[in-house]
A and B are shown apart, each in its own frame.
Chain A
């Protein structure tokens, strides 16, 4: 199964990014085999709707689980329509956090913050 994490650097040593929609990269880890891939997050540059675009990307990458600190309402709507499980990130490197997930030690992310209302001030 594929697990996605928003990260600040492209390696498994990176901590989880505090942001989801505007994280610079996503790490996608395949639990069968342990392969991972770092993908640039184009949504980070979006003037608005970054969460939605990022969530679309996670769905397009075929991830079944997303581990993140924070998720907005709009991104959450996309992820749940794509049936992607949302888990709450904890401190540690991406590698450590994935291991914690596999040991069943992570909790579901239930606190979804309101959307930023998108139109960027316009």
Chain B
């Protein structure tokens, strides 16, 4: 089962839930798709086994062949090209790698070369295999890294996918091949509002899903009420606990404590049942 853990709002506990679920699952892989701000490694402390650089294509100009017709400049929707001072300038980080300029150039002055945008680190933490994507600071899009990460999951291997926050294209890529989506929310007005956004996304992409309410507060039922109204399955409610919060702040796994190991094992079982396994 490929389980994606996501939330509309940042800070609700996606990584907390992901790393602890991955730690109790048998022979699973943990994938950190939050390539802008990966944090899973803080908790899992994996031993690095392999690093793979991820590159994307962008155009390189042969100035001798370029006649300055500016067809490429006018074509590029992303303004990655500029012709000034009788030279063609290329802005690699603006480029979406569509290949259009290379195809259009009447002088065949453009070729595609690759540049590194980040990497995937393969590691191991005990029985758990870990794969984390990291986007180089200054690079605009982590989508190509996430694509590779998701594509690297061996068939049949259970995976826990720690998604980026929000509901933008990086999230879409992260859940694209998932079998089940666990939506993590918190019982606050912000949490519910953002849950609604990410819920729209999983429905649009036809993904079976359920909810985990994290940092539950006594007497605060708004998250539960919302889920009931929307017909959402609540798979678990984890009450706010300042000791747990401290443990997390120290970068430690909750499942080192038996109480939470039990909780996450139970949760995993329920998810597998919901996902029809």
Contact = CB atoms under 8 A, between A and B. Distances in A.
Do A and B touch each other in the complex, judged by CB within 8 A?
A: yes
B73 A56 contact: yes
A94 interface: no
Interface string A80-114: 01110000000000000000000000000000001
Given A119-B94, A119-B96, A122-B143, A77 B79 contact: no
Contact of A49 (B78, B83, B85): B78
A60 B78 CA distance: 19
A74 B139 CA distance: 14
A85 to B, nearest CB: 14
A81 B89 contact: yes
Contact of B79 (A48, A117, A121): A48
B169 interface: yes
Given A56-B82, A74-B94, A122-B143, A117 B73 contact: no
A46 interface: yes
Interface string B135-164: 000111101000000000000000000000
B94 to A, nearest CB: 4
Nearest to B83: A56
B64 interface: no
Given A56-B83, A74-B94, A118 B78 contact: yes
B75 interface: no
B139 A122 contact: no
B169 A122 contact: yes
B94 A52 contact: yes
B87 A81 contact: yes
Interface string A44-84: 00111110110110010000000000000010011101110
Contacts of B77: 47
Interface residues of B, number: 22
Contact of B84 (A56, A117, A119): A56
Nearest to B141: A119
B84 A118 contact: no
Given A48-B78, A49-B78, A52-B94, A117 B85 contact: no
Contacts of B240: none
Contacts of A43: 79
Contacts of B78: 48-49, 118-119
Contacts of A52: 79-80, 82, 91, 94
A49 B80 contact: yes
Nearest to B166: A121
A118 B168 contact: no
A109 to B, nearest CB: 18
B213 to A, nearest CB: 28
B93 interface: yes
Nearest to B80: A49
A117 B82 contact: no
A77 B96 contact: no
Given A53-B79, A119-B94, A59 B140 contact: no
B85 A82 contact: yes
Of the candidates A49, A74, A115, the one having the most CB atoms from chain B within 10 angstroms of its own CB is A49
B143 to A, nearest CB: 7
7 cross-chain pairs, A with B, having the tightest CB-CB distances, nearest first? A49-B79, A119-B140, A82-B84, A117-B140, A118-B94, A59-B84, A52-B79
